[in-house]
Amino acid sequence: MARNEELVNAILKGDRNNVQTIMQKAIEQKQDVVQLLDGSMIPAMREIGERFSRNEVYVPEMLIAARAMQAGLTLIEPILAQSNHKSLGKIAVGTVKGDLHDIGKNLVAIMLKGAGYEVLDLGTNCSVDKYAEAVNAGVQIVMCSALLTTTMTYMEEVVKHFKDTPEVKVVIGGAPVTQKYADSIGAHAYGRDANEAVKIVENIIGASA
Amino acid sequence: MQNLDLKSRVQHTYEKGERLVVPLVGMPGLKMIGSTIKLGQQNYRIHAEALQALIEHFAPDIVFPLMDLSVEANAIGRYTLFPIDDTATVPHVAFHLDHVDMLPKIDISADTRALGYAKVIELLRHSTDDTVFRAAYVTGPYTLAALILGAQEAAQSIILEPQGLHALTEYCNGIIKDYTQLLIEAGAQIICVLEPSASMLGPDHFLDFSGNYVKELADLCSQKGIATVYHICGNTMHLIENMVKSGVNGLSLDSPSSGMDLLKVMQQVPENVLVMGNLNPVGKIHNGSPEEVQAEVLEVLKSVDSYPNFILSTGCDLPKNTPEKNIHAFMHAGRNYRIANN
């Protein structure tokens, strides 16, 4: 698949204006935007995610890359909707009840969108009911985020709520959350960062396909 | 010089075969007196009563107040929520860096809640003896800027609008310095800078938008003989060197579950910088038995046994419902470790 290096670099640098210019030009020239998405935009977000995992970049760099990616996605979304480009799955992301922090959750959301998933962003302060509504709307994976040690305990409530519906997978993450904690509350998986969150989703969707 | 007193005390205690033991334990104090977090954060007498109860029950070597990241933001006029039994929060309200000049020039010594936190220190000064150091919290400059601007917007502005963000952070640091003065005049002997939002930054941005500003606070405190401690939640392994560069007297660090490696930190930090940490606040001390707490404390202390500049503490504020018996186990294990091992 052809890779547009200029587009990849613009996303890696978080150069939103340049991403918009490249994508606008591509649309006007009737280029294959699905190929641009799959061959350049998604690999660029994967690359920034990998750099983040290796501590080569940090949250600010990730955020502006995601912002640039979003700007490109917004331009091509109408075209994607009209084409045969189908979402790989429907995922809900939300920060748990009592917690208003959303950076981590937002990063996961944009990385998932960039990877081709339909994301239902539930926002912050999400109760079990809110996650349940998302499941009723067709979500296959519920992703819970928390920044505070005092709020992460609510994740257990979410896991308990879905324990009798094994087709719904609860994935958790956030600064104070660990694999050990995920195991202790019976969560399906724990994602260390946004990059890993995407890999977990790919594994779950891949296993159920 | 009081900061030298703290360092001397840490050294002296170590030579005796003991450690200073300092749980971050404000919230459980409110439970002990049957009050709520909202009342504790809004009523200085209730707050002081809770801390007094903690001192009487657990005899910590340093008493820390309720951790509250909303004091300065609230004083500036940012909308603040006070849940009945959870800590106050500052929800995100739209703000643009073009409007920094329009932020109010406030006199924080005329703000009821800021004065209340100073009053707590003043009451403790009268009710406690010299065996207990009185600490006070201030919000870190980058964290306060992030509370005003929004955490995500602040992180993005580091790259997209650094000048504007510096203007906001400088404004914030002015407020924090005034608040620090107020707390010192009230009798605070240690100023602990809470800077959780900065854990998301890389080392260079951290120094630029937090460390260099905190250095101004550390210098101000140092001139008055007051010790400063940098407290950042989360994994700060990549920031230790630049935290030290800020000139603070101590670092208060999160638990191993967040990715912290205490031994590596001790190896990296100069001897004249104190390190506080780092029992998991929502681990065994919250949901385990006293025996499990003791084992966890011993593990932490054993790992840093040869370092005099260590103070046993919790990685962050303990939740309100932390069992009293577990806090006792923490204190007991911390007090007796080296005696038992010598």
CATH number at residue A119: 3.40.50.280
On the question of pLDDT at B1 being above 50, the answer is: no
The first and second tokens of residue A87, run together, are 């979402």
For residues B132 and B64, give the distance between their C-alpha atoms in angstroms, rounded to a whole number: 10
A121 three-state secondary structure: strand
The first and second tokens of residue B62, run together, are 């340093």
CB-based contact, A109 to chain B, within 8 Å: no
> In Å, what is the CA distance from A77 to each residue of A3, A5, A66, B162?
20, 21, 16, 31
Domain count of the fold of chain A: 2
Which among B91, B202, B281 has the least Cβ separation from residue A58?
B202
Which residues on B lie below 8 Å from A51 (Cβ)? none
Interface touch A153/B156, C-beta < 8 Å: no
For residues B51 and B66, give the distance between their C-alpha atoms in angstroms, rounded to a whole number: 9
Interface touch A14/B159, C-beta < 8 Å: yes
Closest Cα partner for A121 from A147, A98, A143? A143
> What pLDDT is attached to residue A178?
86
B274 three-state secondary structure: strand
Q: What is the mean pLDDT of residues A35-43?
A: 91
Residue A6, CB half-sphere, CA atoms under 13 Å: how many? Answer: 9
For residue A173, the one-letter residue type is: G
Q: Which residues have CB under 8 Å from B332's CB, separation 6+?
A: B294
Other CB atoms within 10 A of residue B4 CB = 11
> What pLDDT is attached to residue A194?
86
Q: Which residues have CB under 8 Å from B311's CB, separation 6+?
A: B10, B19, B20, B21, B22, B61, B62, B250, B274, B275, B276
- Domain shared by A56 and A97, yes or no: no
pLDDT digits (tens, 9 = 90+) for B81-138: 999 998 899 988 999 999 999 999 999 999 999 999 999 999 999 999 888 999 999 9
Chosen domain end from A38, A56, A82: A82
- Domain shared by A193 and A158, yes or no: yes
Domains and CATH numbers, chain B: 2-7+34-278 (3.20.20.210)
Chosen domain end from A82, A107, A131: A82
- Domain shared by A58 and A117, yes or no: no
- Domain shared by A103 and A196, yes or no: yes
Which residues on A lie below 8 Å from B241 (Cβ)? none
CB-based contact, A123 to chain B, within 8 Å: no
Pairing state between β B227-232 and A141-145: unpaired
Interface touch B202/A64, C-beta < 8 Å: no
- Domain shared by A66 and A108, yes or no: no
Pairing state between β B190-194 and B227-232: parallel
For residues B286 and B52, give the distance between their C-alpha atoms in angstroms, rounded to a whole number: 22
Provide the CATH number for the domain around residue A31.
1.10.1240.10
Q: Which residues have CB under 8 Å from A57's CB, separation 6+?
A: A48, A51, B202
For residues A20 and B316, give the distance between their C-alpha atoms in angstroms, rounded to a whole number: 43
How remote is the C-alpha of B107 from its chain's centroid? 23
Interface touch B282/A149, C-beta < 8 Å: yes
Which among B86, B155, B316 has the least Cβ separation from residue A103?
B155
Q: Which residues have CB under 8 Å from B287's CB, separation 6+?
A: none
For residues A13 and A18, give the distance between their C-alpha atoms in angstroms, rounded to a whole number: 10
Chain position carrying tokens 């100069």: B270
In percent, how much of chain B has pLDDT > 90? 85
Which residues on B lie below 8 Å from A176 (Cβ)? 233-234, 257-258, 282
Which among B89, B234, B257 has the least Cβ separation from residue A178?
B257
Query: Within chain B, what is the greatest distance between any pair of CA atoms?
Result: 61
Lowest mean pLDDT: which of A48-52, A154-158, B70-74, B121-125? A48-52
Bond into B278 cis (ω within 30): yes
Chosen domain end from A47, A82, A117: A82
Q: Which residues of B touch A (CB under 8 A)?
A: 86-87, 89, 91-92, 151-152, 155-156, 158-160, 199-202, 205, 233-235, 238, 257-258, 281-282, 316, 319
- Domain shared by A197 and A142, yes or no: yes
- Domain shared by A203 and A158, yes or no: yes
pLDDT digits (tens, 9 = 90+) for B286-314: 889 999 999 999 999 999 999 999 999 99
Please report, in angstroms and rounded to a whole number, the separation of the first and last CA atoms in chain B. Answer: 32
Interface test with B, best of A17, A99, A107, A149 (most B CBs within 10 A): A149
On the question of pLDDT at A107 being above 90, the answer is: no
For residues B315 and B319, give the distance between their C-alpha atoms in angstroms, rounded to a whole number: 12
> What pLDDT is attached to residue B340?
59
Query: Within chain A, what is the greatest distance between any pair of CA atoms?
Result: 54
Interface touch A153/B282, C-beta < 8 Å: yes
- Domain shared by A185 and A105, yes or no: yes
On the question of pLDDT at B4 being above 70, the answer is: no
> In Å, what is the CA distance from A58 to each residue of A159, A194, B156, B202, B205?
30, 12, 11, 6, 10
On the question of pLDDT at B247 being above 80, the answer is: yes
Interface touch B200/A178, C-beta < 8 Å: no
- Domain shared by A153 and A191, yes or no: yes
On the question of pLDDT at A159 being above 80, the answer is: yes
CB pairs under 8 A between A and B: 64
CB-based contact, A149 to chain B, within 8 Å: yes
For residues B65 and B54, give the distance between their C-alpha atoms in angstroms, rounded to a whole number: 10
The CA-based dihedral angle spanning residues B234, B236, B238, B241, taken in that order and rounded to the nearest 10 degrees: 170
Q: Tell me the pLDDT of chain B averaged across its residues.
A: 94
CB-based contact, A181 to chain B, within 8 Å: yes
Residue A142, judged by CB atoms within 10 A of its CB (0-12, 13-18, 19+), counts as buried
Helix or strand holding residue B145 (H, E): helix B141-149
Which residues on B lie below 8 Å from A152 (Cβ)? 282
Which among A67, A152, A178 has the least Cβ separation from residue B156?
A67
- Domain shared by A52 and A128, yes or no: no
Which residues on B lie below 8 Å from A175 (Cβ)? 199, 233-235, 258
Interface touch A149/B199, C-beta < 8 Å: no
ipTM of the complex, rounded to two decimals: 0.91
Which residues on B lie below 8 Å from A153 (Cβ)? 282
Closest Cα partner for B27 from B320, B322, B342? B320
The CA-based dihedral angle spanning residues B60, B61, B66, B68, taken in that order and rounded to the nearest 10 degrees: -150
Q: Are A63 and A49 in contact (CB under 8 A)?
A: no
Residue B339, CB half-sphere, CA atoms under 13 Å: how many? Answer: 10
Q: Are B252 and B261 in contact (CB under 8 A)?
A: no
In percent, how much of chain A has pLDDT > 70? 99
- Domain shared by A134 and A76, yes or no: no
- Domain shared by A96 and A195, yes or no: yes
Residue A193 structural domain: 90-208
Q: What is the mean pLDDT of residues B15-23?
A: 93
Which among A58, A98, A180 has the least Cβ separation from residue B200?
A58
The first and second tokens of residue B318, run together, are 């303990």
> What pLDDT is attached to residue B3?
44
Which among B155, B159, B258 has the least Cβ separation from residue A175?
B258
